[in-house]
């Protein structure tokens, strides 16, 4: 475990105030992908900054075009996965926020059961991302699902 203070992990609005269904609904309002990209970048601005001490190789997501650090902790008392993520690229932070909207502050079984690929298809995400960005997003999901499945 990375032992990021629980207070920092619970600061994120993703998964509670910002939910996957809200993001999907908002994305549908935009007519073109330029507006959607701006919205995704704005989502990234809502992510709390990950302390520099957690920008380690252990937390680095391999396969991303940009550097992305993900901390995923299991809160045994509340049976929840708590996450924090950061990147130096604003669009990547927004994409990470989309992932957190589906998985953060959820029970491990709920995370494991969530149909993330269907969600990505419904918001037409991968057809508008480079293959490197798509691979990075999938690598982030893979790491989260690994942690969730260990606690199901």
Torsion of CA 74, 53, 138, 75, to 10 degrees: 10
Tokens linked to 18: 């910002």
Write out the catalytic residue numbers: 64
pLDDT interval class at 33 (50, 70, 90): very high
Give the DSSP H/E element, type plus range, for residue 91: helix 90-103
pLDDT tens digits along 118-137: 999 999 999 999 988 999 99
Tokens linked to 76: 């045994």
Contacts of 126 (CB under 8 A, 6+ apart): 120, 134, 137
3-state secondary structure of 36: helix
HSE at residue 56, side-chain half, CA atoms within 13 A, is: 9
pLDDT tens digits along 5-17: 554 566 789 999 9
Q: In which residue are the tokens 């942690």 written?
A: 147
Q: Please, which residues bridge with residue 14 across strands?
A: 18
What is the rounded distance in angstroms from the CA atom of residue 7 to the CA atom of residue 14?
A: 14
């Amino acid at each position: 475990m990375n032992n990021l203070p629980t207070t920092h992990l619970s600061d994120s609005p993703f998964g509670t105030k910002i939910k996957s269904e809200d993001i999907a609904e908002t994305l549908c309002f935009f007519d073109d992908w330029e507006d959607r990209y701006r919205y995704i970048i704005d989502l990234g601005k809502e992510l709390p900054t990950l302390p520099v001490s957690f920008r380690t190789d252990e937390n680095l997501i391999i396969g991303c075009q940009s550097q992305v650090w993900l901390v995923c902790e299991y809160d045994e008392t509340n049976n929840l996965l708590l996450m924090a993520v950061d990147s130096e690229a604003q669009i990547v932070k927004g994409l990470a926020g989309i992932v957190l909207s589906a998985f953060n502050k959820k029970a491990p079984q709920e995370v494991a059961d969530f149909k993330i690929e269907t969600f990505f298809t419904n918001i037409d995400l991968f057809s508008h991302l480079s293959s490197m960005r798509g691979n990075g997003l999938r690598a982030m999901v893979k790491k989260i699902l690994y942690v969730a499945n260990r606690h199901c």
